[in-house]
Amino acid sequence: MLKVLLWILPALLLAYACAHVVAPTGGPRDEDPPGVIRSIPPNRSANFTDDQIRIFFDEFVTLRNIRQQLLISPPMEQLPEIRIRGRSIIIDIEETLRPNTTYNFFFGDAIRDITEGNAIPNFQFVFSTGDYVDSLAVSGKVMNAFNLKPEQGVYVMLYDNIYDSVPLLERPVYLAKTDVAGRFTISNIADGQYLMFALDDKNNNFRYDLPDERIGFVDSPVRPVYIPGFGNQPEGDTLPAPAAPIQYTIALFKEKDTVQRMLSSALTRRGLITVAFRVPFDSVYVREIREPFESEWHIAEFGLQRDTLKLWFAETGRDSLFLEVRDGDRILDTIRRSTTPRRIRERDEEEPQLLNIAPDFRRPRAVPFFRPLAFRSDHPIKTIDTTKISVFIHDSVPLPHTFRFSDHVRRKIEMDPPLQEETNYRITLLPGAITDIFGLTHDTLTTRFSTTSQENYGNIFMEMDMPANGLQYVLQLLDINENVLQEKVIHSEGTYVFRHLSAGRYRMRLIEDLNHNGQWDTGHYLRGIQPEPVHMLPDTIQVRENWDIERSWGIP
């Protein structure tokens, strides 16, 4: 009996273990790129005479967009064949190599592990057909021209053909990609002079050929320097002695698109034609060309970005308008537009139409006392009847007042006198107080609000230490998201005050306004124009209520 139990017990234990199989939990995700074990020949070898290169990795790899990513310098007439075998990459060279030349195979991010797709960043394989590997280098950083933030993933390219349109027509002979801090280093360069560019290459063809691509350039040719440790310096070398590389700084910018055309036009409602343009316009003008009006027939309203135009008009006595659209001296298009919408719903004809007018502030927050009280209308206003507008402070004390138009479209009216601090207001607009160009008015509108006080805000006193160079600058106060809140045009050192600031963090930007137009202007490569220089205050400024902040900023 004991022998039977000794035989049965292990079988029961085995069955129990099999019935409680636990699925593997997996483990952390592999985030490491493949590692190079060895290569034939070794990377950065001299006296290369073979026609094949093989690189071995510590895991299986794949090639992603290799034809777009791979760049060989100097360029080859016939691209090599690249294939995968096991855990290796084989490069078959299809042409006779130049003598005494250093070749650089830049793979970009094409080599990745086959499981997670982790890329080897900026992988390069270098060899020389001569006695030494070129050992010169250039380095630096690429930054956004307007906000000075580092630009990651941007190509920095060198050209040995020095002529103006080279980045538009040729691929570079050397290149690298910027890291998260915008830094780059291009190594294993032959001695000589090169044009240097940064390119946000949208189509990965290493050419500046798309209107939305950003570019940056160094004004004059650069010459790389010898850095010990990169290749072997030949005997009798005439290169300059080892030196710290020049740190080139390249400002990346997008050129202003100047190809203008009209995109669309439509009668969006009775009495309103909307016209859209491809790029912001300089001086747009619309006129009737069949039967010109004896007086102005419309009110023109420009969009904030100056790429849309609204034409407001009341009754013209015409079924159609034949319009010529100009931007400056150039005719963009001619259009024909009906003055009556195609479809008018029956209930729109039956329901009374009211003018929508509202105070130009957000509620329920208190209204800033230092801003003019304003009302905004959906349509241009024709008349204001102040006898139908009542203004009271502290709910019952009448306040003498007037209202005036504050914009050329006459959609916004402002009140005089200015608001008082810490005061309660009640304003009533009776029907007929405001009438628009279509004869519409509003229902009775009553608005109650209170105002803030000086103690609710802080002030920044910015002392600017600037060179006396006669230049014009634009000093901008920004919020934490770099939206412009206030700006001042300045010409010299001094203290500049930014008042009535809510508690929070702020930034400062200074633009060198080289063309004196009061705004930042981008660059243009073929014209040799760099974007206007920008300076950013390194840190933010903390503003507190009822507090004056004094800061100084030195501009070299």
H or E element at residue 106: strand 102-108
Give the residue-averaged pLDDT of 234-242.
42
Tell me, what's the pLDDT at 493?
93
Give the residue-averaged pLDDT of 60-64.
93
Domains in the chain and their CATH numbers? 36-234+243-252 (2.60.40.1220), 262-342 (2.60.40), 357-454 (2.60.40.3710), 457-554 (2.60.40.1120)
Which structure tokens are listed for 294? 């004896």
Please report the DSSP string for 318-387 in residue order: -SEEEEEEEETTEEEEEEEEESS-S---HHHHHSPP---EEESS-SSSPBPTTSPPEEEESS-EEEE-GG
Rounded Cα distance between 153 and 199, Å, is 10
Residues 6 or more apart from 189 whose CB is under 8 A from it? 134, 136, 137, 138, 158, 174, 224
User: In angstroms, how far is the first alpha carbon of the chain from the final one?
Assistant: 100
Tell me, what's the pLDDT at 3?
44
pLDDT digits (tens, 9 = 90+) for 435-491: 999 999 999 999 999 999 999 999 999 999 988 888 999 999 999 999 999 999 999
- The pLDDT-based confidence of 228 (bands split at 50, 70, 90) is low
- The pLDDT-based confidence of 295 (bands split at 50, 70, 90) is confident
Residue for token pair 């003498």: 400
* CB neighbours of residue 192 within 10 Å: 14
Please provide the average confidence, as pLDDT, over all residues in the chain: 87
Tell me, what's the pLDDT at 242?
45
Tell me, what's the pLDDT at 496?
97
Rounded Cα distance between 545 and 394, Å, is 25
| Three-class secondary structure of residue 546 per DSSP | coil
In 129-210, beta strands by DSSP E: 136-144, 155-159, 174-177, 183-189, 195-200
pLDDT digits (tens, 9 = 90+) for 523-538: 999 999 999 999 999 9
Tell me, what's the pLDDT at 364?
64
Tell me, what's the pLDDT at 363?
67
202 and 215 in contact (C-beta within 8 Å)? no
Tell me, what's the pLDDT at 13?
44
* pLDDT exceeds cutoff 80 at 355: yes
pLDDT digits (tens, 9 = 90+) for 80-137: 999 999 899 999 999 999 899 899 898 888 999 998 889 998 788 999 999 989 989 9
Give the residue-averaged pLDDT of 34-41.
95
Tell me, what's the pLDDT at 341?
80
Tell me, what's the pLDDT at 352?
52
Selection from 264, 263, 270, 300 nearest residue 283 by Cα:
300
pLDDT digits (tens, 9 = 90+) for 143-183: 999 999 999 989 999 999 999 999 999 988 888 888 899 99
Tell me, what's the pLDDT at 121?
83
The residue with greater pLDDT, 19 or 498, is 498
Rounded Cα distance between 66 and 68, Å, is 5
Selection from 532, 527, 490, 482 nearest residue 509 by Cα:
482
Which structure tokens are listed for 23? 């699925």
Rounded Cα distance between 247 and 171, Å, is 23
pLDDT digits (tens, 9 = 90+) for 246-282: 789 999 999 998 888 899 999 988 899 999 999 888 8
Give the residue-averaged pLDDT of 7-21.
46
Residue 351 one-letter amino acid: E
